[in-house]
Chains A and B, each alone.
Chain A
Amino acid sequence: MINEAAVWAIVGLPLLGGFLIIAVLRPWTRSLWQASASVGIVAIGGAFALSLWALNSVRGHHGESIGFSPHSWFTVGGDVTQGAFELTIGVLLDPLSAMMAVVITGVSLLVQVYSLGYMRKAANAEDGAFVDYPRYFAYMSFFTAAMLGLVLAYNLIQAFLFWELVGLFSYLLIGFWFHRPAAAAAAKKAFIVTRIGDFGFMLALMWLFSHRGEFLVRGQNPFEIPDINSAAPLLSASLVTWAALGLFAGAVGKSAQFPLNTWLPDAMEGPTPVSSLIHAATMVAAGVFLVARMFPLFEASSWVLNVVALTGGVTAVIAATMALVTNDIKRVLAFSTVSQLGYMFIALGVGAPGVALFHLLNHAFFKCLLFLSAGSVHHSVQTFDMRYMGGLRAWMPVTYGLTVIAGLSLAGVFPLAGFWSKDEVLAAAWSISQLTPGTGAGVVGQATFWLALVAAGMTAFYVFRLIILTFHGEFRGGIEAVPMADRAADEAHSHVHKGESPLSMLVPMSVLGLMAIGSGAVLNSVIELGPVPAHWFSHFFNEPSPELVVWIAGLSMTLVLGGITLAVAIYGMKWFDLARMPKQWHMLNRVLDQRYYMDYFYETLVVRRALFKGVFLASDWIDRKVVDGTVDLVGWAGRNTGKFVGQLQSGQVQAYGIAVSVGVITLLWTYLVRS
């Protein structure tokens, strides 16, 4: 049985590692970058071991948490039982946080080992001045610590604290190459767009606090997660609805769901291992985690659950369509991530958090692997643009094989990991539509079922488009073929190197490959598998075991195979020439390529025109001309009055003269307004 100090150490080890790197190693060993990497890897390895211990400890608790009580951090406003503010902090160790901790530390460990190889290449790059690997490994450690702090948080404010820190390290890592204008812009965009969601999170905190009376009569704290969840069915409807909706806004921002989905593709400007850890496996799943964490609160409002499901369904399809036409391999994967997160929200919205978490787990493995494969490809061809790839399987057989495995898993091909969880999502959506036909939840279940099915077909298509464009056909030249105008400043002298990536990259990728194959079939098997009982994952979360619905599985497999066939036909066999498609197709293509003009709408119309050249300009003008203009006018009048009555007055009294006149006006005005 794990003790509380050891759970804190899960957060503390990477935190300590980060400080050690940034404060002790970095000032001295900038050239010995392996030293910082080792510290980071050892720290996260320790956290991984502790997380496994934690996971083992919560097994057999039947979905309950291990009762570590929280500690009071500070109070404001007097007596807490009378409604003062108290921040408590603690660790909430239950199946959810234990599983998340294992996934986060495990993936982070693999990604950091991979970085050993991947970043060495960059360390030899020509603009050595900007290479600062201690900083990289420190940020990675800090990020991991913040993410672990978020999932283990006992108190919602504590969770918000780490939630924001996760965003900070995402910002710092997206902008790691801050000399690139695109990276600096993308980092800022990611932070601001997610903060719009966090605004909702903050409103939820205010809402909870202003209704603290409902908690105080039960002797509970309005911010403690177990208290909120246990009280949720008894709380007033308005409290539950608005609190859940506010938290969901935070989740929408963090998990890049529609309409806050625009930041994630740009975030691909960060180093590729960062994309795989933060923007595929962990941070973007934080929104899913948050809803799962507060699930009893969401469950208490069927209205909010429907919003969650529909948001997921719409996002799943929209993002998948964007992935169909994208040429940048990382951005295809980014859209895919958004789409798959949509699946998880569908599962949450139809009342199946265990299913959402199962998909989160499988997705973490195969999507992380896909990103690492993209990094491996970049290691060779130095570009992410698939138009300049092709034929890479000739010299990257391992990367090729692993990409195909991860791709099939993402597409949801039997019997790989993605198949099982995707199928559970579909089955969950379908079953709610059958259980409660005609109700809001039933209709939503039906709608999201079809949306998810459509997205499944498209997923298979874009995955195989990606595989074929990258690894099949003729090699199209890599970075050397990219026109200078399209290259970043530091890519100007890059060269293709035809060879497989080093073992430090391939080994972590292979581990993820094994998970991408087996995590679905083994962890939540439909039949008993020797040491692993059937439906282990569902039982671990104390959730009902999902049935394998054969017709749903058959239907989705048919669509998946259809998508694969179409991709092979177009990009592999070249049976159709897309350039000769009718005009309408090109228009559609353009709309998808421009991401439905969402960025245009937000950045150009809203931010630049309506705000910067509208509201902000007007405010600035009013301030200079009207508010300050009045001041100058009063001053001018004062000076001239002064000249006029100059013989009667001396300097100081002048000022008081103005004072009196302004004072009288103000007082009169106040008096008139009040009466």
Chain B
Amino acid sequence: MLLSALIFLPIASALLVLVLGETQQRARQIALTAAIAELALALVAFVGYDTGSGGYQFTERFDWISAFNIQYLLAMDGLSAPMVLLNGILGLAAVLVSWNVKDRPNQYYMWLLLLQGAVMGVFVSLDLVLFFVFWELELVPMFFLISSWGTGRREYSAMKFLIFTFLGSAFMLAAMLTLYFSMPSGERTFDIMALVGRDMANLLVPTWLIFAGFLIAFAVKLPMFPLHTWLPDAHTDAPTAVSVMLAGVLLKMGGYGLLRINAGLFPEQMADFASPLSIIAVVSVLYGAFIVMRQTDLKRMVAYSSVSHMGFVTLGIASVAGTGTSLSSVGMNGAALQLFTHGTITGLLFVVVGLIYERTHTRHIPDMGGLAKQMPLIALGFMVAGLASLGLPTTSGFVAELLIFLGTFQVFGLATALAAFGVVLAAGYILWTAQRTLFGPSMARWGSLTDARPVDVAAMLVLIIPIFVVGLYPSVLTDVFAVGIDPIMAGFSLVGFGG
């Protein structure tokens, strides 16, 4: 029942905080307790996952709607275990960074916890319908959090986020149902475990149509160019904690879906579509980075850097187009690792940006300067996140990008080389931003600002620790991911150098 507990602990806590959290202090006490407990549970699940025996573990299977063979099916494998942990980490960071929310704190924390529970459901559901339910459930808290606690054009951004994701979901729903009904009547199932490895060639509907439906849903979420324009708006107008969750775990649902469903269930179509995917990846990386350079709003800057960095995920997945000796699972492992590392790194960037905004009440970069003097700890947090984002060795960002580049170069040489130049551009925009906000002479108008409080330091540390742990000892994640990636790679013909 561990996985059910993972989903329903935050959801139950959400109800609890709504009822009992009338005061700000009470609300955040409950939310903090829930987030810590959830992280502890996620750690138990992550550590408890036995990589030696691999496969699906902690499985919970109950009939739900037996007429359509829909099940309540939860399980964890090597791919989802790190994602569960990521969600636990980001959830705690999000609660810590919301410490100052005064407006209807009970409702705010309710939505935040509900969001975490829904995302947890996405990562551990192995039934397509259940997966879809959690996928949609996550939209509700996001919509209310952005539109009620956001800033700027918050209603517009919330609606834009909703419509974009909804459109994507519509494709997913259609693809899911088509898949189900195009199977022979005795074999119809939504069970992903059962669908893995099944021959998708003889369906009633062309398989690539189903594949494309899922792909569009996940491409919106990741997001891939040109379906990314909801992201900067949503990020800019969302409250800090929501930006943290959005960059930290919601985008990862897109990458997770690509790996779990597109690559896992439709390897043949995936390999066919890898070439266009590699082009989309390069465009996302470079075009995203170009746009970052022009941004004057800190949050928009980080948002576009996410578009750029999620392009690396797409690139790593595209490496499955290799044949014979050029096919290896290194790129796919890198893509999976990038999901985790980008979650922590960009989560940290948004935490830091939020802390700066909380003090200066502006995100306009030209208004800032010399902040490192007033807030050395926040500046340190920014530098850690920034350097990890530009892929500095010893941080997790380097490991993930290195694996993606090494794994994909042999398959798409030019595309990988071009995408790797994104790392140079990242150095440009990160260090330029640091120069304009943190360095230079300190400004009189920011003279009275204070540095991070203990709770802010805690929020940063929660994310800094995994950045360095994974950066210095990648096995802690790569060995787990490999267990989840290997069955997916089995769908692609892996020959190797000895064979």
Contacts and interface: CB of A to CB of B under 8 A. Distances in A.
A, B: real partners: yes
A76 B78 CA distance: 14
Contacts of A84: 328-330
Contacts of B229: 623, 627-628, 631
A60 interface: no
A362 to B, nearest CB: 31
Interface in A169-227: 171, 175, 178-181, 183-185, 187-188, 191-192, 195-196, 198-199, 202-203, 205-207, 209-210, 212-213, 216-217
Contact of B409 (A180, A206, A489, A674): A206
Nearest to B295: A620
A137 to B, nearest CB: 17
B240 interface: no
A157 interface: yes
B163 A635 contact: yes
A612 B295 CA distance: 11
A658 B167 contact: yes
A202 B439 CA distance: 29
Most buried by B among A74, A184, A627: A184
Given A77-B333, A168-B387, A181-B440, A130 B432 contact: no
Given A83-B497, A164-B392, A188-B431, A615 B409 contact: no
Interface string B221-263: 0000110111000000000000000000000000000000000
Contacts of A192: 424, 427-428, 431
A295 B229 CA distance: 49
A212 B290 CA distance: 33
B382 interface: no
A586 B174 CA distance: 75
B492 to A, nearest CB: 13
Given A77-B333, A210-B326, A85 B406 contact: yes
B170 A656 contact: yes
Contact of B373 (A79, A85, A129, A206): A129
B420 A76 contact: no
Main secondary structure, interface of A, reads helix
A601 interface: no
Nearest to A167: B392
Contacts of B163: 635, 655, 658
Given A192-B431, A616-B294, 17 more contacts: A76-B333, A77-B328, A77-B333, A85-B328, A157-B402, A164-B398, A184-B439, A191-B427, A195-B424, A199-B420, A206-B417, A489-B441, A612-B293, A631-B160, A655-B166, A663-B170, A667-B209
Max count, chain A CB within 10 A of own CB: residue among B403, B424, B478: B424
B89 interface: no
A195 to B, nearest CB: 5
Nearest to A666: B216
A37 B421 CA distance: 39
Nearest to A623: B291
B486 interface: yes
Interface in A113-154: 129-130
Contacts of A78: 329, 482, 486, 496
Contacts of A660: 170
B441 A160 contact: no
Q: Which of A73, A161, A623 has the most CB of B within 10 A?
A: A623
Interface of B: 160, 163-164, 166-167, 170-171, 174, 208-209, 212, 216, 225-226, 228-230, 287, 290-291, 293-295, 325-326, 328-330, 333-334, 370, 372-373, 387, 392-394, 398, 402-403, 405-407, 409-410, 413, 416-417, 420-421, 423-424, 427-428, 431-432, 434-435, 438-442, 473-475, 478-479, 482, 486, 496-499
A183 B474 CA distance: 35
Contact of A206 (B171, B209, B416): B416
Contacts of B372: 178
A71 to B, nearest CB: 13
A640 interface: no
B interface, over-half SS:
helix
Contacts of B417: 203, 206
A428 B434 CA distance: 46
A313 B197 CA distance: 61
A666 B211 CA distance: 13
Contact of B435 (A188, A196, A620): A188
A611 B496 CA distance: 42
A165 B474 contact: no
A77 B330 CA distance: 5
A659 interface: yes
Contact of B290 (A73, A160, A615): A615
Contacts of B482: 76-78
Interface string A641-675: 00000000000000110111011001100100010
B295 to A, nearest CB: 8
Contacts of B431: 171, 187-188, 191-192
A659 B393 contact: no
Contacts of A612: 293-294
Contacts of B393: 160-162, 164-165
A102 B420 CA distance: 35
Contacts of B167: 655, 658-659, 662
A81 B394 contact: no
A617 interface: yes
A69 interface: no
A195 B171 contact: no
Given A78-B482, A199-B423, A627-B229, A210 B410 contact: yes
A209 B226 contact: no
A434 interface: no
Interface in A64-98: 73-74, 76-79, 81-85
A209 B372 CA distance: 41
Contact of B392 (A168, A183, A209, A489): A168
B164 to A, nearest CB: 8
Given A76-B403, A175-B439, A203-B420, A83 B325 contact: yes
Contacts of A175: 439
A565 interface: no
Contacts of A238: none
B440 A184 contact: yes
A148 to B, nearest CB: 15
A31 interface: no
B171 A659 contact: yes
A663 B171 contact: yes
Contacts of A76: 329-330, 333-334, 403, 474, 478, 482
A656 B428 CA distance: 42
Contact of A199 (B225, B421, B478): B421
A619 B373 contact: no
A615 B290 CA distance: 7
Nearest to A164: B393
B426 to A, nearest CB: 9
Contacts of A188: 431-432, 434-435
Contacts of B326: 210
A222 B174 CA distance: 47
